Amino acid sequence: MMTFGARRRRQHLSPETDLTQPPAERILNAPTVSVLLAGSMPALYLIQERLPDAGLSLAFRPSSLWTGEWWPGLLTSMFVHGGWAHVAMNAAGALAFGPPLARLMGGSRGAVSFLLFYIACGLVATGGYGLVHPDSYDSLIGASGAVFGLMGGALRLLGRRNQRLRPLQDRGFLTTTAVIMAVNAAVGLIGLAPGMDGARIAWEAHAFGFVCGALLIGPWAKAFGSRPEPFASPPDLRDPDV
């Protein structure tokens, strides 16, 4: 079990005690909901490994959009993975890009809206892939599209100096987006999928998820954000005081 806050011990003060000494830093400075999201991925995979079909029935097949065979796969596919390497990459991505959004949507209401944002990006990513490959019967699994949605939203927050998100036409945002999408497409076209023999990366789903997150974060924050002051990343990229 991991704890996320430093526990203060009660001490008897002496005249020599330095009262100006700052409290111990937290080992993991991330909102609980983002940690739980990342931790749910290996937990769910442990369950998936014990299913009779190893979770394949929960996958999404693009052709089902038109045949109606398994529409629930739009949602269920983001909760199953193709191996421990696949799980580790997505969990690390959720833990890296989820905290800025979770901080923006503070409180219990914000935690629910954060998870709904994540799911919405995943649905758009999966559905977008189905639109690009309408005749495919291949099985699509993984939370990568939703994680890319977190990435797109987080990049709109990074480095801003006022209450507004970084505009979509911001040079820094566009440059970063171009690099990410180029690497995403290159890796997907090469077919590199660590730990998933015979599988390929659905880079199109990643792109749909990223764009969804970047576009959705603005109206989502207005509708569900509960913090009176905006999230802002300082120039040295330290974690903000929360």
Where does the pLDDT of residue 191 fall: very low under 50, low under 70, confident under 90, or very high at 90 and above? low
What's the whole-number average pLDDT of the chain? Answer: 81
How distant, in Å, are the alpha carbons of 106, 156, 159, 161 from that of 234? 19, 14, 6, 8
Per-domain residue ranges for the chain? 32-224
Contact between residue 159 and residue 100 where contact means Cβ atoms under 8 Å apart: no
| Least confident range of 7-11, 49-53, 88-92, 122-126 | 7-11
Position 79 scores a pLDDT of: 96
pLDDT > 90 in the chain, percent: 52
When comparing pLDDT for 66 and 98, which is higher? 98
- The backbone torsions φ and ψ at residue 201, rounded to the nearest 5 degrees and listed phi first, read -85, 130
| Least confident range of 88-92, 134-138, 175-179 | 134-138
Instruction: Give buried/exposed letters for 166-182 (b at 16+ CB in 10 A, else e).
Output: beeebeebeeebeebbe
At the fourth CATH level, the homologous superfamily of domain 32-224 is Rhomboid-like (1.20.1540.10)
pTM over 0.85: no
Q: What share of residues in the chain are helix, strand, coil (percent, to 5)? A: 55, 0, 45
